[in-house]
A = this chain, B = another copy of it.
Amino acid sequence: MASIDDLDTPAILIDAARAEANIAKAQAHADRHGLKLRPHIKTHKLPYWAKKQVAAGAVGITCQKIGEAEVMADAGLEDIFLPYNILGRAKLERLKALHGRVALSVTADSHETLSGLAATFTDTGHPLPVLVECDTGMGRCGVQSPAEAVALAKVIRAAEAEAWLRNARETLAAAGLECRRISSGGTPDMWRSGEDSVVTEYRPGTYIYLDRYQVAKGVGTLDDCALTVLATVVSHPTPSRAILDSGSKALSSDTLGLPDFGELLGVPSARVTGLSEEHGNVTLSDGGALRIGERVRVVPDHCCVVTNLFDQVHLIDGDKVLETLPVAARGKMA
Residues 261-288 of A contacting B (Cβ, < 8 Å): 274, 276-279, 281
A185 → chain B, closest Cβ, in Å? 11
Answer whether residue A200 sits at the interface, using C-beta atoms and an 8 A cutoff. Answer: no
How many angstroms from the CA of A150 to the CA of B11 in the assembled complex?
31
Knowing A331-B309, A333-B310, say if A140 contacts B276 (CB, 8 Å): yes
Selected from B90, B278, B308, the residue in CB contact (under 8 A) with A249 is B308
Knowing A87-B232, A252-B253, A292-B113, say if A150 contacts B238 (CB, 8 Å): yes
Answer whether residue A118 sits at the interface, using C-beta atoms and an 8 A cutoff. Answer: no
Knowing A64-B277, A243-B141, A305-B248, say if A234 contacts B42 (CB, 8 Å): no
Where chain A touches its partner, the secondary structure class is: loop
> Residue among A91, A140, A334 with the most chain B CB within 10 A?
A140
**Contact status A10-B238, CB under 8 Å:** no
Total residues of chain A contacting the partner, CB 8 A = 66
Binding site for B on A (CB under 8 A): 8-11, 42, 64-65, 84-85, 87-88, 90-91, 109-110, 112-113, 116, 133, 135, 139-144, 146, 149-150, 153, 232, 234-241, 243, 245, 248-250, 252-255, 274, 276-279, 281, 291-293, 304-305, 308-311, 331, 333-334
